[in-house]
Structure 1
């Protein structure tokens, strides 16, 4: 029996914006359930906030996002996500897109272990590692 792994990004009122940002860069299809769509007695949260959002991207990649009242900060990342694969150009495009409005912690360049690697912090404070491509590209 196999299983999948999906990052779950917790935000404070910006989940819809984050899903649109990631979809613009990675493609795929989103589904969103707002707090108002599934009212539960005693549950906090703004009715317009995302209770559960999901982006399904080709190749089995899934990103989940939700809004909540938990305290978050840029110094305490919500998650770290690693995107990896064989296509260096595709990964470099993701690197450029994810860093727009954010920052680049490590440039996307040839790593000592032979593949390409870079790290960015996107506009939502989420750290992304991008790795792959190997010796055959670049």
Structure 2
């Protein structure tokens, strides 16, 4: 097996909603395992059976994994610009469509999607869960107007 890298997002109890929303926005195949779907023998805590132990969304652009934060642990701060998920697409129009889906789903634009000083298209949006998504498309993929 060759090495792989996937993003992991710990959410504050709403992982099922977030991953379902992300599948609606980005497409792909969603594998979602709740604690109630697992044999919990030997588990050092008693989790809520409805909480997500592990989720994996296999999108055309790559994998997003995550779950609900462990009981007793604070979920990481959301709605922050210290991190983002960068999604590269083929065309500026494809990025605009994905950004609009996030906004229509209760998110907001953080940085308008436009031609950036370095020559590529770039912009950012927060989804309704507070996760920041950055979008990029190369200049050579098209010079559509903003």
Fold match, TM over 0.5? yes
1:14 aligns with 2:14: yes
How many residues in Structure 1 have an aligned counterpart in Structure 2?
A: 137
How far the C-alpha of 1:136 sits from its partner, in A, is 4.5
1:65 corresponds in structure 2 to: 66
Give structure 2 stretches of 5+ with no counterpart: none
1:81 corresponds in structure 2 to: 85
User: 1:53 aligned to 33, 52, 55, which one?
Assistant: 55
Moved more, 34-43 or 4-13: 34-43
* Paired residue secondary structure (2:66): strand
- Structure-2-length-normalised TM-score: 0.82
1:129 corresponds in structure 2 to: 134
Instruction: Give structure 1 regions of 4+ aligned residues with deviation exceeding 4 angstroms.
Output: 75-79
Question: Do 1:102 and 1:123's aligned partners in 2 also have CA atoms closer than 8 Å?
Answer: yes
Which entry has the higher C-alpha Rg, 1 or 2?
A: 2
Q: Closer, same or farther in 2 for the Cα pair 1:123/1:26, shift >3 Å?
A: same
2:30 corresponds in structure 1 to: 30
How far the C-alpha of 1:79 sits from its partner, in A, is 4.9
CA distance in structure 2 between the aligned counterparts of 1:77 and 1:52, rounded to whole angstroms: 25
Moved more, 1-10 or 49-58: 1-10
